[in-house]
Structure 1
Amino acid sequence: MTSAIDDGITERQRLLSIAAVCSTSFGTGISFGIGFPLTSLTFELWNQPSWMIGLAGAAPPFAILLALPIAPRLIAKFGPVGSIVGGCLIGALGFLALALFQSPWAWIAIRVLMSAGFAMPWLVGETWINAVTREETRGRVIAIYAMVFFTGYAIGPVLLQALGLHGPLPFLAAAVVTGLSGFPVMIGRQLAPPVEHDTSLNVAAAFRWAPVAMVAAFVGGFSEITVLSLIPNVALAAGWSQYPALALLTVTTVGGIVLQYPVGWLSDRVSRFAMMIVSVLLFIALALALPLALTNPVAGYMTAFLMGGVILGFYALGLAIIGERVSASGLAAVNAAFIIMYQLGALVGPISAGMAMMDDAVHGFVTIVIVTMVITGIALLVFNRMERRWAAEALDHG
């Protein structure tokens, strides 16, 4: 398949287009970073049982999963800018509705609706960035896109801490940030790439277009959410106190942000598939080293820093592989399938890891990571071979 490069724009226009969608990604990252802790902490203040807090946390990914199969058709109908702005406005109205309806069940329903809206800027952003990026710089540009989003995501909880949980201020601030997230792409609307949608290509069929990227998405969601959710618990089980254990989470996030650009730079120079295999092996090595590393704070922080780079790298590498291998007409559908796989990994990861950690948190965590990475490595090799065979068959029939 041909790459989805748009060569009909100047280099200056390309950079401005990338800047516009990255700016929007930063704003939506802040919105995500506010929404999750705002919900869980508010439910704690309302003395809700843990199962209700878990249900509220699971509502956004389920909503995104439900919205994504129809999202490519909506994007093709309303255009990339209209879809992003519409999704951001739904999210902004959702934050205002949370302030008005102080009921757990109402909050869960509102979070479902606003998260379905957020699916649009997420999907359009990935499609947009791949459509306007040149192949020789794809890895670096996607790395910057990921860094910007996760920086916004990391800022969200800090902003919420400064605003507090009481009164209308956190909801108003979140609504303003979310609503304004669509503003950069409105300014750069003339630089938006045309988003095509092959009506014969549904999300299920899109898996055949880039199966290696789908594996990357699943393992990215699995490892990212599992590590970021449970690494403090692992540290506590290893004898760390509460604040150093939470600092370990911060170090993991910082490692993911800081190391993305080196990963992207390298992916523009060597095989991205080879980098996926190396990332799997590196993550296995880091998991094996973790029990020993946690006996020393410096070694523990260094291991967590590197883990952050690997787990966020899976997602960025998979996204770059889509841009490398998928044509423009299939980008939206394949990216929708990519996000679905990421969300499935994010749902499966914490549950399976939590079960594995019941008897021995540290070694249970290590075991589930290693088993998952071994399966991932095998799946990558199998699907890469299948992808090559499909490509050869396509050439023979062409």
Structure 2
Amino acid sequence: MRWGTYFAVCAAVISIGLTLGTTMPLVSLRLERWGYSDFAIGVMAATPAFGVILGALLASRLAAKIGTTRLMQGCLLFGSLSVALLALLPNYFLWIFLRLVLGVALTVVFVLGESWINQIVVEQWRGRLVALYGTGYALSQLAGPLLLKLIGSEGDLGFWIGTGLLIGGSLLLMGHSGAPQVESHSAGGRDLLNFCRNLPAIAWAVVLFAAFESMMLTLMPVYLLREGFPEALALTLVSVVVLGDAALQLPIGWLADLVPRITLFRLCGMVLLITSLSMPLLLHSPLLWPLLVLFGASAGGLFTLSLIFIGERFRDEALVRANATIALLWGIGCLLGPLSTGSASQWLSNHALPMLMAAGAVGFLFLVFRPAAKAL
């Protein structure tokens, strides 16, 4: 196994996590300070989803023409330019365009990077090594809000740090090989429908986690501010959610190599449902802190286990196509989550975020407890 390549690709993708963990809440807090509504903030949060979908459609085709490594490096550099322009062009509508471009560039890196990782790990360590990548990514997102709390959201330093991180991620990929072989084929509607028909529980788990992740870094801080929490504490609580995601992924990955993975999949869904329903009740209780840890761990476990299931089944071009389909589903989740939560928060209830996560968990449990799901 190419350990150097494994860690280099993980680090390159993780640079995205720290960048998004810093800049996404910064954008939302800046819009909140400018007086924009929950719906407007939700639209901004959902905009990268369109870029995610476009990036997923283009990843395989571009990689076949340019090469996986060069394409990933180029997209990281292009993403760094988009983040820099967020600092230089403080305008709501320009930010929508820049976040769209950022979504395209970084999605290509995700699709190819996660395919690369799943391709080179050995089967007997698959659960642990995929979980190690997931832990690193979650920790990078955890560090984002903490870093923003340290440097403050009033200035643009968070944007410039994100710019530097993406440039560094591009440099880390120099000289590495072993990426999946990719043909000039892009994921499309037929791939998406086939994937959803054959693996519906995995498909919905990805949509649900994408909605969770996009809302944690954009709408969760606003939700907590509206519930009376000061900004510093709100950012700390968001970090606690991500800490739960990060802290328990390695144990989940270790268990995934030892016990039936479908059992863990179901357990994560049940914990996500319970914690989502409990959040409004315990929001101002000391029990909120452990609740948020379990909330983040259960949501993160759904995605980690989904990647493990995908890595079991596919190789090379099929693996890249499967990950491109995952990215399409991710884009759908990133689009539906913030838009529905932003709208519901403004016009129905401020507790829309946990309630919609609970509804999503119910849908997942329905799919994963079907007899056909045992084939996972």
Q: TM-score range by the shorter chain?
A: 0.7 to 0.9
Q: In the alignment, is the contact (CA less than 8 A) between 1:260 and 1:313 conserved in 2?
A: yes
Q: In the alignment, is the contact (CA less than 8 A) between 1:79 and 1:194 conserved in 2?
A: no
1:4 aligned partner:
none
1:28 aligned partner:
16
Letter in 1 for 2:372: R
1:279 aligned partner:
268
1:216 aligned partner:
205
Q: How much has 1:92 moved relative to structure 2?
A: 1.6
The match for 2:238 among 249, 261, 264 is: 249
Give the unaligned 5+ runs of structure 2: none
SS in 1 for 2:173: helix
Q: In the alignment, is the contact (CA less than 8 A) between 2:15 and 2:169 conserved in 1?
A: yes
Matched, 1:262 2:251: yes
Letter in 2 for 1:380: V
Gap change, CA 1:98 and 1:287, over 3 Å in 2: closer
2:77 aligned partner:
89
Q: Deviations over 1:136-178 (max 9, x none)?
A: 2111111111121222223234444555567775544332221
1:286 and 1:359 mapped to 2: Cα distance? 21
Give the unaligned 5+ runs of structure 1: 1-10, 392-398
Q: In the alignment, is the contact (CA less than 8 A) between 2:249 and 2:301 conserved in 1?
A: yes
2:25 and 2:281 mapped to 1: Cα distance? 31
2:165 aligned partner:
177
1:305 aligned partner:
293
Matched, 1:195 2:181: yes
2:92 aligned partner:
104
Letter in 2 for 1:254: L
1:69 and 1:198 mapped to 2: Cα distance? 11
Q: In the alignment, is the contact (CA less than 8 A) between 2:243 and 2:293 conserved in 1?
A: yes
Q: In the alignment, is the contact (CA less than 8 A) between 1:238 and 1:295 conserved in 2?
A: no
Q: In the alignment, is the contact (CA less than 8 A) between 2:60 and 2:185 conserved in 1?
A: no
SS in 2 for 1:182: helix
TM value normalised by structure 2: 0.84
2:58 aligned partner:
70
Letter in 2 for 1:304: L
Q: For structure 1, which segment, 32-41 or 276-285, has the greater mean C-alpha deviation from structure 2 after superposition?
A: 32-41
Q: For structure 1, which segment, 205-214 or 17-26, has the greater mean C-alpha deviation from structure 2 after superposition?
A: 205-214
Q: In the alignment, is the contact (CA less than 8 A) between 1:283 and 1:310 conserved in 2?
A: yes
Matched, 1:349 2:337: yes
* 1:2-17 matches, cutoff 5 A: 11=1, 14-17=2-5
Q: How much has 1:245 moved relative to structure 2?
A: 5.2
TM value normalised by structure 1: 0.80
What is the aligned length? 372
* 1:44-63 matches, cutoff 5 A: 44=32, 52-63=40-51
Give percent identity, aligned residues only.
Answer: 27
Instruction: Report which of the two structures shows the higher radius of gyration computed on alpha carbons.
Output: 1
1:84 and 1:147 mapped to 2: Cα distance? 21
Q: How much has 1:333 moved relative to structure 2?
A: 1.4
Q: Deviations over 1:93-142 (max 9, x none)?
A: 22333344344333322222233111221111111111111122111111
Gap change, CA 1:374 and 1:163, over 3 Å in 2: closer
Q: Deviations over 1:31-78 (max 9, x none)?
A: 212332343344456555665544333222221212211211112222
Structure with the bigger RCO (C-alpha within 8 Å, sep 6+) is: 2
Q: How much has 1:309 moved relative to structure 2?
A: 0.5
2:264 and 2:248 mapped to 1: Cα distance? 14
Q: For structure 1, which segment, 39-48 or 112-121, has the greater mean C-alpha deviation from structure 2 after superposition?
A: 39-48
1:169 and 1:350 mapped to 2: Cα distance? 25
2:144 aligned partner:
156
Letter in 1 for 2:45: G
Q: For structure 1, which segment, 65-74 or 104-113, has the greater mean C-alpha deviation from structure 2 after superposition?
A: 104-113
1:204 aligned partner:
190
Supply the RMSD in Å over aligned alpha carbons: 3.3
Q: For structure 1, which segment, 92-101 or 135-144, has the greater mean C-alpha deviation from structure 2 after superposition?
A: 92-101
Letter in 1 for 2:260: S
